[in-house]
Amino acid sequence: MKSFYNYTLNELEDLVTSIGQKSAHARTLFTQVYKKQIDSFENIENISLELKEYLIKNISLELPKVVKEQVSTDQKTVKFLVQMNDGRTVETVLVPFEKKYTICISSQVGCAMKCSFCFTGTQGLTRHLDSTEILAQYVLAFKWLKKNMPEKSAPPNIVFMGQGEPLHNIEQVKKCLGILFTTEGLHLGPRQVTLSTAGYLPGLRDFNDLMGINLALSFHSPFDEQRNELIPLNKAYPLSEIIKQLKTINLRKRQFLTFEYLIIKDMNHSLEHIERIKELLTGLPVIFNLIPFNEFPGSPYKRPLMKDVEWFKEQLSESGFHTMVRTTKGDDILAACGQLNTK
Ligand code: SF4
């Protein structure tokens, strides 16, 4: 059976008309499944009986199974271990951010990029997720939120920061976004979505196809040699080429590129780093997001002292870069950045 979540609105209209029904029924279905979260075709209203029977027989509204659910000790961050049809699992995390929730979504099982600071990177790539599997993570985390915190009913924001390099799977990410942005469905806007990349240049070249979403680059060091160690992908696509490509991205007024900067103890937060950053990035609309490194079992790096993080933040701010420090949520369930693992 094909999944309902695999269809764009246009594809659903084609399906509905191919069985002799009015295309308007496709819009009704989108609204009731995505906005009203009706999870059985029997309960869909205002469609013909014939269409209802067809859908029940041929299309599935089933979501992947959540095989484990962990809530952090502060009761705010929730991590789901989601099992796909072939038994592979990925993690999806619901994270509170200011007044809203954000859903951190995985785009692949494992990841090919092998970043040395990343728990997921230790596993290698098992496979890409398809658009249905990516979208289903959002739908099931949103359902959980509506059930458990009904006061938080607005569709949460999304960050593609879970397992995988989303630009390595850009076609499936693009299809998923098209469905999420559909007015009759969840009607998310590009401002609500941030995609984080390690700098996968072939995908970055097509970034403008992703409808104006926000981009976050895992930067971590302005020196290629050091970045090669942290992100081996940098050997193939060095910083100079990435920065050149970033300059071609169409940004809205007041839209910034986020540069994620993992601060690792005694490694990448000296005055030389500041000077090189100024040389490379002055003039680019960049916001720095500093992330004190989270140690994981067997990690080769150490967490920095907070006073060093604050010093680096001040230096960047004084150099004219808007800079924030990300407070880590959910460390106790390993749901912080770079700590996801399918095991
Ligand atoms: S940090 Fe991102 S790109 Fe790098 S290995 Fe981990 S999941 Fe892949």
Token readout for 343 is 């095991």
Are residues 99 and 53 located together in one domain of the fold? no
Report the C-alpha gap between 341 and 123 in whole angstroms: 8
Please confirm, yes or no, whether 91 is among the known catalytic residues. yes
What is the rounded average pLDDT for all residues in the chain?
Answer: 93
Are residues 28 and 104 located together in one domain of the fold? no
Ligand 1 atom with the shortest distance to the CA of 218: 1
Question: Could you report the per-residue pLDDT of 16-33, keeping only the tens digit for each?
Answer: 999 999 999 999 999 999
Question: Could you report the per-residue pLDDT of 31-75, keeping only the tens digit for each?
Answer: 999 999 999 999 999 999 999 999 999 999 999 999 999 998 877
Are residues 69 and 130 located together in one domain of the fold? yes
Question: Above 50 in pLDDT, residue 343?
Answer: no
Closest C-alpha to 265, from 234, 299, 235: 299
Given the residues 13, 91, 133, 229, the one annotated as active site = 91
Are residues 74 and 51 located together in one domain of the fold? no
Are residues 55 and 108 located together in one domain of the fold? no
Report the C-alpha gap between 164 and 162 in whole angstroms: 6
Question: Could you report the per-residue pLDDT of 155-184, keeping only the tens digit for each?
Answer: 999 999 999 999 999 999 999 999 999 999
H/E stretch holding 57 reads helix 49-58
Side chain identity at residue 121, one-letter code: G
Please report whether residue 341 resides in a domain: no
Report the C-alpha gap between 219 and 71 in whole angstroms: 30
Pocket around ligand 1: residues whose beta carbon is below 6 Å from it? Answer: 111, 113-115, 118, 120-121, 163-165, 198, 218, 338
Out of 16-20, 261-265, 296-300, least confident range: 296-300
Please confirm, yes or no, whether 62 is among the known catalytic residues. no
Are residues 15 and 99 located together in one domain of the fold? no
Report the C-alpha gap between 80 and 66 in whole angstroms: 6
Helices (H), 34-192: 49-58, 131-148, 170-180
Q: What angle do CA 284, 288, 292 make, to 5 degrees?
A: 155
Centre a 10 Å sphere on the Cβ of residue 183 and count the other Cβ atoms it contains: 10
Question: Above 80 in pLDDT, residue 331?
Answer: no
Q: The pTM is what?
A: 0.94
Please report whether residue 74 resides in a domain: yes
Please report whether residue 338 resides in a domain: no
Average pLDDT in the 237-260 region? Answer: 96
HSE-up (13 A, CA, CB side) for residue 105: 31
CA distances from 223 to 9, 52, 142, 231 (A): 45, 59, 40, 12
Provide the pLDDT for residue 72: 87
Are residues 90 and 154 located together in one domain of the fold? yes
Tell me, in angstroms, the distance from the centre of ligand 1 to residue 121's CA: 5
Are residues 25 and 98 located together in one domain of the fold? no
Please report whether residue 245 resides in a domain: yes
Please give the residue range of the domain that contains residue 26: 2-60
Please report whether residue 143 resides in a domain: yes
Q: Please report, for the domain that includes residue 35, its CATH number.
A: 1.10.150.530
Largest CA distance in the chain: 70
Please report whether residue 231 resides in a domain: yes
